[in-house]
Structure 1
Amino acid sequence: MRLSAPVYQLKRKARLLSRADNIPLHEALDRIAVREGFAAWSLLVARMSSVTPAAKLFEQLSPGDLVLVGARPGHGKTLMSLKLAVEAMQSGHRSVFFSLEYSEKEVLDRFSAIGVEPARFDTLFEFDNSDDISADYIARKLADAPRGTLVVIDYLQLLDQKRENPALMVQVRALQSFARERGLIFVFISQIHRSYDPAVKPCPDLEDVRLPNPVDLGLFSKTCFLNNGDIRFQAAR
């Protein structure tokens, strides 16, 4: 179940309700929980504590977001992106996976790796690995995509691999405008520079994103970096 707001905001609502109605805080918390579909606040907290990292991240995404998911090879960036796609589909939204790296079979196999049967989402999931993938191509393919559709792009550094495609910065800006205009969520899988040293810091960050061509990383509204099971999520200030 997706909450109407993060837990900390719900707590604030409960405190305001407690003061406004002159009731104990625990009663106000229970009232807020009922509004969210739980019989009591304790049940809401128990449910949220069992939520997966992908579910927690998805809870914080909004239509128009550009999300950067980065990790070194083998540390779960593709799986995290697929988990976000699953979260979107479980909420009734479409997910589209554009890949310049994987075949459809490889992606479907990764669904199995996260314990998900792709057939469950047959009408909500779409895979595209055309050689023509670029910002313009993606916008054309998503011309009729409903608001809330989650789009995975695999991966950022390959969007301008063809010389005839616009510069990477131009493409990311175009997709940012498109996402905001249409209310879509874009998740960009990103390579991390091989100079990243986990002995220096446990998880990579924006400084470690591999950029063979310039991109203003400030265009991304949220980031998620992974390393050895450690997950660091941050929203733009």
Structure 2
Amino acid sequence: MTKRLPAAVLWDMDGTLVDTEPYWMRAEIELVSEFGRTWTHDDALKMVGMGLWDAAEVFRAAGVELPADEIVARLTERVREQLAQHGVPWQPGAQALLREIREAGIPTALVTMSIRSMAEDVVGAIPFAAFDDLVTGDEVAAPKPHPEPYLTAAGRLGVDIADCVAIEDSPTGLAAASSAGAVTIGVPHMLPLDGAPADALWESLDGRTLDDLVEVAIGKWARA
């Protein structure tokens, strides 16, 4: 009997597809330092998975005397500069799994709280047609952990979110995907995912296959 496949696979970007969190942290430290303040590694960890405009308000409260839009623009441009300088730091196994999903004919969308220009930089570096659509932080009214980004992705692809699998690295992202109704796979990176709403936790995407992903989905659907 042919296994039921997901209607779509929805990917987070920063920390899941690419290891850009150190780039963001460097950009944050540089920005806060301009205003004579200190930004620690622990401060930066609190920003992981947060919507950029929500994060901007945290920076404003920490003494960055700039409008929120300018904070978002400056952080994003600094990360894009690092991508151009150092290359795109792919997470182990991410491209291989994404390629296998695509070759199976399963629709995909990137669901990221980064803005579209940066998402397009990353997607443009993938050597195959990786995504049918991009949902970015500058296109949604409510960022993760709100379900809107994932519901938007499913709507654009014309599929039921309950038939989709979402891959995320942060508690915030998993909360968004789970509350939307997707099957969730957590791949911890900068933050532990203990207690996060994941249907499966994978230590890494390295060596993971479409069969592994389908197994998680079928298990969730059987319990529904």
TM-score (norm 2): 0.39
Structure showing the higher strand proportion among its residues: 1
Structure ID, larger Rg? 1
